[in-house]
Structure formats: structure tokens, C-alpha cells
Amino acid sequence: MPRLAGKIAWITGAGSGIGEAAALALADEGATTVLTGRTAEKLDRVAARIRQQGGEAYVQPAELTDAKQVQAIGAFIGKTLGRLDILVNNAGVNIVDRHWDKLTPEGIDELVHGNLSQALYCVTVALPLMRAQKDGLLIHTASIAGRVVGGFPGPIYSAAKHGVVAMSHSINMQECINGIRSTVFLPGEVATPILDKRPNPVGPEERARMVQSEDCGDLIRYIACLPKHVVMSEVMLAPTHNRTYIANLQQKL
């Protein structure tokens, strides 16, 4: 029997990249998936793939920076499915003008709300459902930038992802008595559409050597299938061909 049969998994940012890979991996293990993102057409495409494999998928598009829309999805899950076992809190954004010399208040708001506020909103919806069943798992996609401040992601993205890391650990501190576990996932460079928002384009050869979305989906599957008595509090996944390390080595030559 699939290891997640009977489980309900809500995946945000599910229309592409890590979210899509996570949704497909969890569905492959038997989970019923709720797919959320901004673009209904992308979500429909992912849902169709899941259904073709015999899985069950519900499409719930939303702008997750709007708390009321997030709450509406929570109400849908509670009313239609009756429980929530897994939240893959994955949606995130970056912008081209991400550094201090070009940042504007509007850009700052987009980065903070798109990477931190929306994640917090989803948690406030998920926790009541999980507390009621004394069980649940939250997996948050942060970034290695949430642990190590570097040049690529930009300062506000890094600050927001540091917030996601702190958020996840604080959930374990308070909710462990309710059987709830929280994992923060810190990927390095991943070949996803967010790379298209970089000031300096990344070519196909470099992308091929990065972490792939499917690698992340497999790791999220592994975390979701861990037994209830353990929690993987934090995990990093980075490419072997690490461009930051290589740049540092070249400076020393």
C-alpha cells in the first residue's frame, strides 16, 4: 500500500518547480493533494498528471499574500476533506531589482509578503486542522539564503527566508505537544523558473548542474514518510558543483 494513502497534502506554489515535483511525489505515495498557486492553468496541468496516475487532486488557486484567500482554502479543506495531514509551504518569489542600490518599498513589500507573510498565513490555517487530529507535518521551503547571507538572492529575500527558518523551529517548540512536526527545507541553487528573475541570466549548462526540482520532490517525499515520533527539523540540499564554493576557490588561486 502507498505510504501516504488516506493522507491530505496541501502544496503551495504547486504549478511549477519544487511545488509541482512535491505534489507529484506525494501523490505517487497515495496522498490526496490540494494544489494552490496563482495560475489556475498551471495547477490544472499538474492535477491532470496526478489524475492520469490514478491520484486525486483538487485545484485551489489563490493569491497567498491575501490572508482571506488563504483562509478560504482552509475552509475548503476542512469542509470538503475533513482533515489536513501535510502542508508543503513552498510558494515564494524574487525580483530582478533585488539589491540595495535598486530596491524600492514596493519591491521590499513584494519580497516580504511573497516569501514570509504568505507562509505565516498558511501556517495559521493549517495548525487548527492539525491540532484537532493531534497529528500533522509542515514542510517549508526556505533557502540556504535563510542560513547564510550571500550575494545572489538579495538582502530582503535572505531576510525573509531567515524568518521562515525561525518560524519553522518555533512551531516545533510550541506544537510538539500536539503531535505536530515542522521541517524547514534549505535548498541551494535549484533549476526552477525563479532563476528567470535573476539580474544575470543563468544558462542551460549551469542549470543542468544545479539541484533539480525532482531532487527536491524526492526529499520532501522522504520527510513526509518519516514516522510520527521523529521530526527532521532542518535539512539542506545543495548542488555538488557549488558555484559559490568555486568562486571562493578561484579567488584564492
pLDDT > 90? residue 170: yes
What does the pLDDT read at residue 202? 74
93: closest CA among 72, 68, 114, 121?
A: 114
Domains present along the chain, CATH in parentheses:
8-252 (3.40.50.720)
- 56-65: string of b/e by CB count within 10 Å (b at 16+)? ebbbbbbebb
- The stretch 116-121 carries a mean pLDDT of 98
- The stretch 27-49 carries a mean pLDDT of 98
pLDDT digits (tens, 9 = 90+) for 52-82: 999 999 999 999 999 999 999 999 999 999 9
Which of the residues 58, 121, 157, 222 is marked catalytic?
A: 157
In a 13 Å sphere around the CA of 114, the CA atoms on its Cβ side amount to 17
121 catalytic? Reply is no
What does the pLDDT read at residue 253? 54
What does 104-133 look like in DSSP terms, one character per residue?
-HHHHHHHHIIIIIHHHHHHHHHHHHHHHH
